[in-house]
Structure formats: C-alpha cells, structure tokens
Amino acid sequence: MRTNRFSKIFLSLIFCLFFVLPFLSLAASEAPDLTKDSFQYTQMESLPGFADTSDFYVYISNLYKLGIWAVGISAMLMIVIGGYMYATSAGNNASMEKAKEVITDALIGLILAMTSYVLLYIINPDLVRIQRLKTPLPEPKTQQEENPEAGAETPLKTTANGCLDNPAISCIDCFDCGKVDTSNVPCKENPCLLNKVLLTKIEDVPAGNWQITEPWPPTVKHLSPCHQNGTCADINLTLADEKGVPKHVKKLYDQLKKAGLYVVFESANCAPYTNLGVNCKYYKTMTSPSFHVK
C-alpha cells in the first residue's frame, strides 16, 4: 500500500514538472525584453549545483533543471532499492513481488519523464524552456498618425537627388527607378520609387493584404546596400492578425517567389518559418518581421 502511494506521488510530481510548469512559464514573443529588471528578489535558499542569483527567472529556470535531475536520480535510486529488495527476498514471493513493483514503478516514472520532455520539445521547444515575460513594443506611429492634417500624400523632405534629408541614412541615386503606382501596388511611404525591373516583378504579385514598407528612398539605415539605390525593397502583411503568422507568411512567400523575386523573410525567430520551407534570416533585434525582396 505504501509503495502504491509513493508511486502515485512520484508520478504526480513528474506530471507537474514536465507538463504544468513549462506552460505556466511559457511566454513566446518576438518583442524586446522590457521586464528584465522587474523581477529582482533576494534569494533565501541556494539550489544545489547552481550559483545564487537575484534574477527570479534564472532562479525558476534553475529550479526546473533541478527538478529534472531529481526525477532521474529518484528513479535510479528506487531501481537500486528495488534491486536490493529483490536480492534479499530469499525466495519470499511477497517480497519479490513488492520489489518488482518498486522497480516497475520507477521505470514507468523515468520513461514518462523522458517521453513527456521529448514530446513537449517536439511540439514546441519553448515549452521546455523558462523564458522571460515579454511586452511587445507599440508600433511606431506613421507620419499621418503623428500629423493628421498633413494627409496621406504629404511627401517627406528630400534632398536634390531624391534621398530623404537625413544624414544618418545611407542613400545614393536610385538606379533606373520608376514611381510605384500605388493604385496597383500598395506602398506605405511617399515618395515611393523602385528599380523598374524589381517593380515589374512586384506588380506580378497577386493583390492581397500586403504592401511595400520600405521602397526608395530608404527611411532608415539598412545593412543591405541595395536599399540605398532602390534595387531591393521590404514588403510586409498589412493585417495585424496575419503579420508573422506562419501560414500567411508562407502564402505570401510563395506568391513573391512565383513572381520571380529573390525573397528572404527576416525575423528574430526563424524556426516556425523554416519548417514550412520559407527562406528565413535571423535578426536578433528584429521587432517586426518582414520580407526582403530583390
């Protein structure tokens, strides 16, 4: 009876450790961490094998790892105890059966722990990781939102060659560019120009919930030099409930590829997209994933 009671407690602890705790701690987000200093505390007790920390998230992560070790060590200990009980049973059938139960329960617990961890990892690796709670940054206001009286068609201040009047942005003359017909191809910026060859390909993309978010002239400093002369552009989905959603990203990705464009989806988390065959490039600081086309 005592053995059965211990087995139930042991299996319950395994269930809580591998199923409940990961879900309580999961916080999947691509936004920057804004709460890094919000969960500091004074550690009262040290965890064996881990250095003391004042970071609550690190402490919980260490506690979770300690629990995993404890499950394995406990299972092995019970197997050893069961083996000892079996070896010293001296042919007593009742003692032998009790020893077998101890060993069987320990093996079941160990297999359950390993299986549950593997299954959770296969479903989503974040389910077995303790992550910080993250708060998404508000999307920056557009020029029209900041100045409603200016109107959607109010162009930004530019220099003689058409680049934005901002010395921090690298920009050169647009290479064989044409003006984007926004009635046919939606564009977030004004002015909106692109290399004619690139523009022709983009015009072949089926109309939908997408728009050019970074044409020429560039509005921010880019790592890709092609943004400086209009031979590449950034495109993104327009609906909030579709942005970053793998199935919608995959659909637009295929449409862009079919139009003859070279496409890279830039994101801070590429795993959900590469699993669908999307060419994704990892950018740690990317807060709003988008398509880079040329």
The domain spanning residue 161 has which CATH number? Answer: 3.30.1380
For residue 37, the one-letter residue type is D
Domain match, 158 and 201 both: yes
Please tell me the distance from the alpha carbon of residue 266 to that of residue 227, in angstroms, as a whole number: 15
Give the contacts of 229 (CB within 8 A, at least 6 positions apart).
172, 173, 174, 175, 195, 216
Which structural domain range is residue 69 located in?
Answer: 2-128
Q: pLDDT of 178-218, one tens digit each?
A: 899 888 899 988 888 999 999 999 999 998 899 999 998 88
Domain match, 180 and 113 both: no
Please tell me the distance from the alpha carbon of residue 282 to that of residue 271, in angstroms, as a whole number: 9
- Kindly state whether residue 237 falls inside one of the protein's structural domains: yes
Residue 229 main-chain phi, psi, to 5 deg: -120, 10
Domain match, 55 and 115 both: yes
Model confidence at 143, in pLDDT bands (50, 70, 90)?
very low
pLDDT at 150 over 50: no
Which of 128, 157, 181 is the C-terminal boundary of a domain?
A: 128
Domain match, 147 and 204 both: yes
% pLDDT > 90, the chain: 21
Please tell me the distance from the alpha carbon of residue 5 to that of residue 11, in angstroms, as a whole number: 10
Q: pLDDT of 99-131, one tens digit each?
A: 888 888 888 877 887 787 778 778 877 666 665
Which of 100, 128, 156 is the C-terminal boundary of a domain?
A: 128
Domains contained in the chain, number: 2
- Kindly state whether residue 236 falls inside one of the protein's structural domains: yes
**Residue 157: what pLDDT?**
59
Domain match, 154 and 284 both: yes
Please tell me the distance from the alpha carbon of residue 164 to that of residue 117, in angstroms, as a whole number: 53
pLDDT at 285 over 90: no
Which of 70, 96, 128 is the C-terminal boundary of a domain?
A: 128
Model confidence at 12, in pLDDT bands (50, 70, 90)?
low
Domain match, 24 and 149 both: no
- Kindly state whether residue 210 falls inside one of the protein's structural domains: yes
Q: pLDDT of 63-105, one tens digit each?
A: 777 777 887 888 888 889 988 888 888 878 888 888 888 888 8
Place of tokens 């409930």: 241
Domain match, 162 and 289 both: yes
**Residue 253: what pLDDT?**
94
- Kindly state whether residue 96 falls inside one of the protein's structural domains: yes
Pull the structure tokens for residue 220.
Answer: 């921010």
Q: What is the pLDDT of the chain when averaged over all its residues?
A: 76
- Kindly state whether residue 120 falls inside one of the protein's structural domains: yes
Judge contact between 45 and 63, C-beta under 8 A. no
Pull the structure tokens for residue 83.
Answer: 């083996």
Domain match, 9 and 119 both: yes
Domain match, 46 and 14 both: yes
- Kindly state whether residue 254 falls inside one of the protein's structural domains: yes
pTM greater than 0.85 (yes/no): no
